[in-house]
Amino acid sequence: MIPPDHPRYRSLVTRKHLAACVRTGIVSPEGLTAHGRGEAFDYFLGERTTESALVAERTAATLLSGARNPVISVNGNTAALAAREIAGLQKACGAKVEVNLFHRTEERVNLIEDLLRNAGAEVFSGPAERLLPLSHDRAWCRREGMFSADVILVPLEDGDRCEALVNMGKTVIALDLNPLSRTARTATLTIVDELTRALPNITGACGNLTDAERTELLASLDNNYLLSEAIREMTMRLAHALD
């Protein structure tokens, strides 16, 4: 039992939920380490959406809602933490929702797809093929989904898929609390924010931006600037942590 007056109540409830999702198979055991890494970076950020992250979220909304074939890639952690928010974003931008896993088993794919459907998402499923130039199981995807996407959102990503997708000519939006990760540095646009804060902001922006704002956001897209702003915010907080 986690007492609601515990100062870290939300964090403890989330951890308990993820541990339960490991037991059902939705989250991989490795997903707990990924979450812990995210929490550490979120501490540095002050567990809030920074101004530069909000700009990145508005830019992501512009890219997703203007795409020909946008896809939201979902892994175990993303589904466990934010299935409803994924469904909300799908409604706002019309993207396909496709499950793509590093620790891939058919059983996990089915469990995650069911979780997403129960949360209101329409899942792009069916037989996957080994289509991405990767030696691990993230290579499995659908021809009409991720493989032919022009814009793809990759939350809580690991390793080298982001680079492969960029090399295939896709616009890749990463959502990652670690601004130093390979994914964050390789993506077209990186949102350095926590998943459950970022998704509703992107969804809200999909319906709120004027044409002039969209044009301005796309013209000023500079991922290195966004990453350096995130690092600056973290450095500032660390420098003044004991003030």
**Residue 119, number of CB atoms within 10 A of its CB:** 15
Q: Using the rule CB under 6 A, give the single segment among 62-70, 101-109, 119-127, 217-225 that binds ligand PTJ.
A: 101-109
Residue 35 makes contact with ligand PTJ by CB under 6 A: yes
140 binds ligand PTJ (CB under 6 A): no
Q: How far apart (Å, rounded) are the C-alpha atoms in residues 98 and 3?
A: 36
Q: Which residues fall within 8 angstroms of residue 112, CB to CB, at 6 or more apart?
A: 26, 74, 75, 76, 79, 99, 101
* Residue 89 CA, distance from chain mean position: 12
Binding segment (CB under 6 A) for ligand PTJ, from list 28-36, 86-94, 116-124, 221-229: 28-36
Q: β-strands 189-191, 140-141: how paired?
A: unpaired
Q: Does 134 interact with ligand PTJ (rule: CB under 6 A)?
A: no
Residue 160 engages ligand PTJ in binding (rule: CB under 6 A): no
Ramachandran region of residue 47, left (φ > 0), alpha (ψ -120 to 50) or beta?
left
Please identify, using beta-carbon distances, which residue of 75 and 188 lies nearer to ligand PTJ. Answer: 75
Cβ closest to ligand PTJ, residue 98 vs residue 157: 157
CB of 200 to ligand PTJ, least distance (A): 13
Residue 19 Cα distances to 9, 13, 66, 76, 109, angstroms: 15, 10, 37, 12, 18
Q: In angstroms, rounded to a whole number, what is the distance separating the alpha carbons of residues 51 and 169?
A: 29
Q: Is 103 in the site for ligand PTJ (CB under 6 A)?
A: yes
Stretch that binds ligand PTJ, among 113-121, 173-181, 200-208, 210-218 (CB under 6 A): 173-181
List the one residue from 85, 194, 229, 233 that touches ligand PTJ (CB under 6 A).
194
Tokens representing 137 are 């199981």
Distances in whole angstroms, Cα of residue 215 to Cα of each of 36, 42, 211: 37, 30, 6
Q: Is 57 in the site for ligand PTJ (CB under 6 A)?
A: no
In DSSP terms, which residues pair with 190 in a beta bridge?
Answer: 174
One character per residue 106-125, x = contact with ligand PTJ (rule: CB under 6 A): --------------------
Q: What distance in Å separates the CA atoms of residue 230 and residue 228, rounded to the nearest whole number?
A: 5
Contact positions with ligand PTJ (CB under 6 A) in 81-100: 81
Q: Contact region for ligand PTJ (CB under 6 A) — 144-152, 174-182, 200-208, 212-220? A: 174-182
CB of 237 to ligand PTJ, least distance (A): 16
- Contact residues toward ligand PTJ (CB under 6 A) are 28, 30-31, 34-35, 37-38, 41, 75-77, 81, 101-103, 156-158, 175-178, 181, 194-195
